[in-house]
Amino acid sequence: MENENMHRDWISIFNRLLKKPKSNLKEISRILGRSQKFLSILSTGGASTAYASYADSLRESVERILSTLILYTEDTDSHPGIFFIVCNYKDAHKCDFHPVIKVFLEGTKSVYLLKIIEKVCSNVHMFRLKKEEEIVLLSELVKCSASVDHLIGESAIRSIFGLYKRERGDAVFLAELTKTFQMRYLDLFVSKIFPEIIGNEDTQFVISMIQVLSEIKEIPILIIAHSASRECLLSCPSGLLDRMWARLENERLPQEYLSGMKMAAKVPDLFDINRFLRLLVKYTGMNVLYDQGEVLIQYINTVLISPVSIIIKEKKCTNGIIEQTEKTIGNGVDAPINGVYLNTEIMVEFLEKLYRHSDGTRIEYCRILFYTGLESQKACVLLLLKNKNIRVKWNALRTLTAYALDASEIEIVLDVLKTTENEKMKLWCLKILECNHRKVDASAFVVKDTQYKSEIEEILKRINN
């Protein structure tokens, strides 16, 4: 209630406080600290003309408050207020922050001031320094990064990171940023800084950085390196890759394990499918099973665009006759010579885990079989057509387009087509019939006006011609 009254009388309250701003800095900062949501709402604008006019008056008041606080930056009591506005009011960039930077460079180092500098460095609209001024600021921030105060040190590093992102390609900012690495800020570097560097710097620098970091046992190198591009990983020296693969094969922590698997999925040329599958089966934590299915799909998708091939050899029984089948996934030239033969036993072991666990993992199961089409799993896919989850059912139908179906199996699909009210499922049923060269009575088929209508009508024409 007190806050509501304060916000209703906002303009009059601050008109009074700003008459003697220096003596009221603490009170101004206190009110702003309790008004952060209010400041954020002001940033969104008004719905009506009358409200918009009043909101404009409030915004003018906020900008006047900020400008006044900036004039008194030498007094640390102003710092919390500036910070609350900068964090919550999107038009804060309209004010000139040079006085704030000047006070910082002159020696004031409060936690709030460092947090303000961090915001300023990260916002391109707030920061308008010349290159030589940026270098001076960078130098002072580097000193602060070694502060015994953890909050000051972290804000300094985040500020340097903000400068680096604005000056991509500048070796000075990159060099200073990497020098500030300390184990106490490991989470910040792993989650934000290293991925940004890996995504923007040249391959040789990234490889060198990963090489150095991989030699430090405490650093989660798999989390860092999985941000690297496929091209970068392919260029890594074999010794570095062997070190990272060894980490992956012995990793027990879920986040690091999955990061390593995502990295391996980018380079099937260097990490063959059977080795990949063995690591999927070896890791027993069920809380990552869905992610494991996702990463196997990523691996297969990379195979489809890389020079490596997976050869699937199976036995197939048709009308009591057992025959050997062989198919290839991927674009590899001379697949029988250069391709890797899939260990179907390990693949089936992993697929069965997906099938048994949940509807989410059953969808992953279907997506994997859409690419691999293992004959041993066809009956299980057909059973999923009885699942209550609509997404499981249409994923199962999509997967069946990868199989040749016999007459009894086609009847199961026709039953789904006749009974379902879901147009997406009808579409996939028709695609299965088309793949198996079966016709359908179009006159008895009602096509609803949905996003799938035109595609359904086209398939009906094709399969009956």
Phi, psi of 316 (to 5 degrees): -130, 135
Distance CA 202, CA 132 (A): 25
Instruction: Identify the pLDDT of residue 27.
Output: 94
Instruction: Identify the pLDDT of residue 67.
Output: 94
Of residues 32, 41, 100, 91, the one with CA closest to residue 63: 91
Instruction: Identify the pLDDT of residue 339.
Output: 82
E strand or H helix that includes residue 301: helix 289-305
Distance CA 82, CA 118 (A): 12
Distance CA 195, CA 210 (A): 11
Phi, psi of 227 (to 5 degrees): -75, -15
In DSSP notation, 22-50 reads GGGHHHHHHHHHTTHHHHHHHTT--SSHH
**Between these two residues, 51 and 411, which has the higher pLDDT value?**
411
In angstroms, what CA-CA distances link 427 with 198, 328, 421, 422, 436? Answer: 43, 27, 11, 9, 14
Instruction: Identify the pLDDT of residue 392.
Output: 96
Distance CA 322, CA 311 (A): 19
Contacts 24+ apart (CB under 8 A), 204-207: 205/174, 206/232, 207/232, 207/235, 207/236, 207/237, 207/240
Instruction: Identify the pLDDT of residue 1.
Output: 39
Instruction: Identify the pLDDT of residue 380.
Output: 96
Mean pLDDT of 275-287: 89
pLDDT exceeds cutoff 60 at 334: no
Of residues 169, 161, 214, 211, the one with CA closest to residue 188: 161
**Between these two residues, 438 and 45, which has the higher pLDDT value?**
438
- Number of helices and strands in the chain (H, E): 28, 3
Instruction: Identify the pLDDT of residue 48.
Output: 47
Pairing relationship of beta strands 310-318 and 340-341 according to DSSP bridges: parallel
For 366-421, how does the pLDDT look when each residue is reduced to its tens digit (9 = 90+)?
999 999 999 999 999 999 999 999 999 999 999 999 999 999 999 999 999 888 88
Residues 433-447, buried b or exposed e (16+ Cβ, 10 A)? Answer: bbebeeebeeeeeeb
329 has which bridge partners? 310
Locate 290 and state its tokens. 């869905």
Instruction: Identify the pLDDT of residue 52.
Output: 64
Cβ atoms of 222 and 259 within 8 Å: the answer is yes
Q: Which residue has the tokens 């580097």?
A: 142
pLDDT exceeds cutoff 90 at 319: no
Confidence of residue 355 (pLDDT cuts 50, 70, 90): very high
Instruction: Identify the pLDDT of residue 284.
Output: 81
Distance CA 275, CA 256 (A): 18
**Between these two residues, 4 and 139, which has the higher pLDDT value?**
139
Phi, psi of 89 (to 5 degrees): -110, 115
